[in-house]
Amino acid sequence: MPTSYELIYWPRIPGRGEFVRLVLEEAAAPYRDVGQLAEGEGGGTAAVMAYWEGKHEGHPVFAPPVLRQDEHVLSQTAAICDFLGARHDLSPRDDLARSQALALQLTIGDLLVEAHDTHHPISAWLYYEDQREEARRRAPHFVSERIPRYLQYFERVLRHNGGEVLTGEGLSHADLGLFQAVEGLAYAFPRGFAKASAATPGVLALCERVRERPRIAEFLTSERRTPFNEEGIFRRYPELDAG
């Protein structure tokens, strides 16, 4: 019998790891959150770093998050969500709809890159303080053009599928991913998000339905939830929240 999953992701930042966590939590799948464990228990930054440096056993990965089950190793957030979704009834069964859910998760991944670029437009390896000027030029376009464009796209997808879920007939990992992306936008860009989301009531309603699902509601108030902060993808820098 396979052992429980291991999620390998950097401690203390929600980042892309939280997208995988939400799927595991909604699936009620047992998992060991390796980055959150103490180093003495084989966890923490050192354990995650071993994957990043390619020192782990099994299939090589480029970057966390990583999902492991015994000797099976998988990276890339969207691929992990698709894999878990198919296993735990959080992907549509129909082939086309399953691929659409994956495509939506990849689109969310695109949004994450752009959100990260607002505070790190030059390099992820430099401090924010070293690229503040460029960030002040980069962020307004994201806030005024890209947040509305992404939200309106998801609104259209939702409407096209009947208004309840993004694709297929039941909740999928794509709906969970949209919830986390919307939470991040609302945290990092409260002004810009409020303005843009006024035109996307369907997306807001979907996110509320996700928040109220019993397993998600329990997770969100648990210690397993990693709050947004100024070290992750979605950072609240008020000077960047101007469209």
Ligand X SMILES: N[C@@H](CCC(=O)N[C@@H](CS)C(=O)NCC(=O)O)C(=O)O
Q: 176 vs 196, which CB is nearer to ligand X?
A: 176
* Residue 85 lies near ligand X (rule: CB under 6 A): no
* CA–CA distance, 62 with 80 (Å, rounded to integer): 14
Interface mask toward ligand X for 13-52; x: CB under 6 A: --xx------------------------------------
Cβ-based nearer residue to ligand X, 76 or 226? 76
Hey, how many other C-beta atoms are within 10 angstroms of the C-beta on 53?
A: 8
Please select the residue that binds ligand X; options are 63, 126, 198, 199, rule is CB under 6 A: 63
**Between 66 and 147, CB nearer to ligand X:** 66
User: Do 215 and 28 form a contact (C-beta atoms < 8 A)?
Assistant: yes
For residue 212, count CB atoms less than 10 angstroms from its CB and return exposed for 0-12, middle for 13-18, buried for 19 or more: exposed
Residue 109 found at the interface with ligand X (CB under 6 A): yes
Among 181, 162, 28, 166, residue whose Cα is nearest residue 108: 181
**Neighbour-count burial for 9-32, b at 16+ CB within 10 Å, e otherwise:** bbbebbbbbbbbbbbbbbbeeebb
Which of 6, 68, 73, 77: binder of ligand X (CB under 6 A)? Answer: 77
- Number of amino acids touching ligand X (CB under 6 A): 8
Binding footprint of ligand X on the chain (CB under 6 A): 15-16, 63-65, 76-77, 109
